[in-house]
């Protein structure tokens, strides 16, 4: 699985001009799965992301977790994280997971994040979405379970 995490001061996702999910301070997560991914990868990512300490403490060090700052998560499915641009000018997405499998893992990921006590808003798997955000920092972190 791949997740691109952005620390945000606010983020929202709209579908057909209507806000579907929105958060204030927290993480915007762009999430993708491949066919070989399992619940093991989901569990690894949930643990890493829910414990990640990238918010400033009183000494201005990145030392606080999402829970410490009462932040939220906006999770958006994005199969294009598996784009292969090695050949030509048009990306290939053959490494992206088959939609039924990828959707199940995306939903499992969101449910397990919420089970940690975090507030989780989502987009809609497979929908055409418009994402609006203010990246705080900027802080952007890449997770790839193939590289763990």
pLDDT digits (tens, 9 = 90+) for 2-45: 999 999 999 999 999 999 999 999 999 999 999 999 999 999 99
- 21-31 b/e with 16+ CB inside 10 Å = b? bebebbbbbbb
Active site residue 79: yes
Active site residue 119: no
H/E stretch holding 141 reads strand 130-144
Active site residue 56: no
Range of the domain at 133: 2-147
Instruction: Kindly give the parts of the chain with pLDDT less than 70.
Output: none
Q: Is 38 left (phi over 0), alpha (psi -120 to 50) or beta?
A: beta
Triad 20, 4, 34: Cα angle to 5°: 90
Query: For position 140, which CATH number holds?
Result: 3.50.80.10
Number of domains in the chain: 1
Catalytic-role residue among 6, 41, 78, 122:
78
Q: Give the model's pLDDT for residue 148.
A: 82
Q: The whole model's pTM is what?
A: 0.96
């Amino acid at each position: 699985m791949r997740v691109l995490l952005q620390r945000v001061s606010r983020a929202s996702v709209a579908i057909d001009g209507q806000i579907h999910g929105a958060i204030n301070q927290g993480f915007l997560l762009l999430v993708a799965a491949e066919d070989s991914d399992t619940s093991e990868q989901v569990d690894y990512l949930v643990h890493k992301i829910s414990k990640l300490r990238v918010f400033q403490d009183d000494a201005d060090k990145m030392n606080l977790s999402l829970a410490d700052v009462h932040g939220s998560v906006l999770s958006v499915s994005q199969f294009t994280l598996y784009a292969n641009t090695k050949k030509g000018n048009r990306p290939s997405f053959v490494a992206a997971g088959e939609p039924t499998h990828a959707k199940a893992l995306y939903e499992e990921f969101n449910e397990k994040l919420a089970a940690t006590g975090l507030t989780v808003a989502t987009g809609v798997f497979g929908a055409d979405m418009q994402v609006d955000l203010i990246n705080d920092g900027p802080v952007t972190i890449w997770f790839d379970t193939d590289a763990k």
